[in-house]
Amino acid sequence: MSIMDYEDYKNLQNNIDNDTQAGVYSKQNINKFTKHLSHKFMSYMYDTDYRVNYVTDGIKYIFGILPKEMIGSCFYEKVHWQQSELKKIRTLEEKLQKDTKRSKQIDTSFIDTNGNIKHIRMTKYAIVIENKITGYEGIIEDITKEKEHELEEKRLLKELSCLNELTNTINMFHNIDELLKNSTRVISNGCCFPKSTMTKIIFDSKEYVDIFVEDALCENTSDIVIDSKKRGYVTTYTKCLSDICIKNTYTNKIKFLDIATEQLGVALNNLILKQHLEDMANHDSLTRLYNRNVIKKEIKNELTKAKRHNRNLSVILIDVDHFKSINDTFGHQTGDTVLVELSKLFSKAIRSSDYAIRYGGEEFALVLPEASINTALEISLRIKEKVKNNQFNIDKNKINMTVSIGISSFPEHSDNLEELFKMADEALYEAKDSGRDAVYIYS
């Protein structure tokens, strides 16, 4: 509808309203109105038995019925109304009977001859002659497009609301692996999103997550993580969410996709950043082993579980013998490389459920849940021999070294974590004091 059409409509509607209040029915106003807007509007008049005695050509565009077919017929029998909608119209007429001087208006719908739902806005007036209602007249406006647009807006808002819920859910997790493990719960939070699409959004993103986390760790910066939204995530989410909104012909589609990619991208980027920061907080930047912070929570929890289930837990402390001389002879950069190579060796010597920790400068700790003293001793001896017999080739330098090791264990030595580390440290001191390249158990 153009601006002129709309203004004409409002003016004519006011004229008709004034005519009705004056008890005058003006076909001139109605005909002028329908001449401009016959495809979108129609006017009608019927008696108290609902027999139509006047209708404009607009009826064929709105209801698909020719005017001559409607004249003399019952207005409500010719149109396929749902009972709930018909009840709304009857209620409107009851209100008109109580207040004949004012027009009444409702939005309702019917099923057209093709089986499609069409939405209309019905404005109705009571025709009063000698204080008696003799019929009804009014205007019907086809608002199907507007209503579809409104429903689409509501759908998009609902999806956006679900998106916010999904974003909040993602923000609850600490890392991507945890998110993937709980994907069913996350997907269920997708509400109006298809489950297949939600699955794709979450799982297809993991490849981006792995890449960007690895990059971020290598660069030791969060810039790459933050920037990932501009690359992988926007591509993934735009494609996935296009599947949802593909039928949306309104400009909201682009706006919605922008918001969707932005919010989901930021949510997952925050998750990666959170994972990255936690990783930095709990891992040594040089060796990528755990640092001492992990003892406060994870190792403490492991000891609690060991007590609860009556299981062993062993602590191994390892010190690189004469490490200062390696730094002095070959330089600190070579010394750092030695620590990295030793870290790899220690990690390979234990299970995935065990903890390898950089405990100090050249000192390492291995925490072995569900491992007895004998198991800890076997692992320690194996590590000692492997280090001793391995010649490390670093920067064209051939370096030989040995390690000293101390062991303590729960429940034999203590049920206190701090004391277990202290006892392992005392055993390590004895190993070094005995001439190094030795393994000692606390006694």
Q: Report the alpha-carbon distance of residue 70 to residue 63 in Å, rounded.
A: 10
Pair of tokens at residue 114: 């093709």
Verify that 176 and 262 share a domain, yes or no.
yes
Tell me which of 407 and 18 has the higher pLDDT.
407
3-state secondary structure the chain: CCHHHHHHHHHHHHHHHHHHHCCCCCHHHHHHHHHHHCCCEEEEEEECCCEEEEECCHHHHHCCCCHHHHCCCEHHHHCECCHHHHHHHHHHHHHHHHCCCCCEEEEEEEECCCCCEEEEEEEEEEEEECCEEEEEEEEEEECHHHHHHHHHHHHHHHHHHHHHHHHHHHHHCCCHHHHHHCHHHHHHCCCCCCHHHHHHHHHHCHHHHHHHHHHHHHHCCCHHHHHHHHCHHHHHHHHHHHHHHCCCCCCHHHHHHHHHHHHHHHHHHHHHHHHHHHHHHHECCCCCCECCHHHHHHHHHHHHHHHHCCCCEEEEEEEECCHHHHHHHHCHHHHHHHHHHHHHHHHHHCCCCCEEEECCCCEEEEEEECCCHHHHHHHHHHHHHHHHHCCEEECCEEECCCEEEEEEEECCCCCCHHHHHHHHHHHHHHHHHCCCCCEEECC
Q: Which domain holds residue 18?
A: 3-142
**pLDDT, position 309:** 93
Verify that 273 and 134 share a domain, yes or no.
no
Verify that 88 and 132 share a domain, yes or no.
yes
Among residues 247, 282, 317, which one ends one of the domains? 282
Q: How many domains does the chain have?
A: 3
pLDDT digits (tens, 9 = 90+) for 15-59: 656 655 554 545 555 555 545 556 778 888 989 888 999 998 888
Tell me, yes or no, whether 248 lies in a domain: yes
Tell me, yes or no, whether 395 lies in a domain: yes
Tell me, yes or no, whether 287 lies in a domain: no
Q: What is the mean pLDDT of residues 202-231?
A: 41
Distances (CA, A) of 258 to 47, 195, 261, 343: 54, 21, 5, 45
Verify that 169 and 278 share a domain, yes or no.
yes
Verify that 12 and 72 share a domain, yes or no.
yes
Q: What is the CATH number of the domain that holds 71?
A: 3.30.450.20
Verify that 9 and 45 share a domain, yes or no.
yes
Tell me which of 71 and 153 has the higher pLDDT.
71
Output the pTM of the full model. Answer: 0.47
Tell me, yes or no, whether 288 lies in a domain: no
Find where tokens 């956006």 sit. 160
Closest residue by Cα to residue 237 from 272, 194, 212, 202: 202
**pLDDT, position 177:** 57
Q: What is the CATH number of the domain that holds 308?
A: 3.30.70.270
pLDDT band for 238, please (50, 70, 90 cuts).
very low
Q: Report the alpha-carbon distance of residue 270 to residue 272 in Å, rounded.
A: 5
Verify that 299 and 434 share a domain, yes or no.
yes
**pLDDT, position 150:** 79
Verify that 318 and 368 share a domain, yes or no.
yes
pLDDT band for 245, please (50, 70, 90 cuts).
very low
pLDDT band for 183, please (50, 70, 90 cuts).
low
Planar angle of CA 114, 118, 124, nearest 5 degrees? 130
Among residues 250, 282, 314, which one ends one of the domains? 282
Verify that 81 and 191 share a domain, yes or no.
no
Tell me which of 152 and 83 has the higher pLDDT.
83
Q: Report the alpha-carbon distance of residue 384 to residue 439 in Å, rounded.
A: 8
Q: Report the alpha-carbon distance of residue 65 to residue 158 in Å, rounded.
A: 37
Contacts for 134 with CB less than 8 Å, ≥ 6 apart? 47, 48, 127, 128
Pair of tokens at residue 411: 């429940």
Tell me, yes or no, whether 44 lies in a domain: yes
Verify that 431 and 298 share a domain, yes or no.
yes
Verify that 327 and 389 share a domain, yes or no.
yes
Verify that 171 and 252 share a domain, yes or no.
yes
Contacts for 269 with CB less than 8 Å, ≥ 6 apart? 225, 226, 228, 229, 233
Pair of tokens at residue 193: 């999103």
**pLDDT, position 21:** 54
Q: Report the alpha-carbon distance of residue 152 to residue 231 in Å, rounded.
A: 29
Tell me, yes or no, whether 352 lies in a domain: yes
pLDDT-wise least confident of 77-86, 135-144, 276-285, 330-339: 276-285
Among residues 92, 124, 142, which one ends one of the domains? 142
The answer to whether 56 and 137 are in contact (CB under 8 A) is no
- Mean residue pLDDT of the chain comes to 76
Q: Is the pLDDT of residue 218 over 50?
A: no
Tell me, yes or no, whether 259 lies in a domain: yes
Q: Report the alpha-carbon distance of residue 326 to residue 339 in Å, rounded.
A: 11
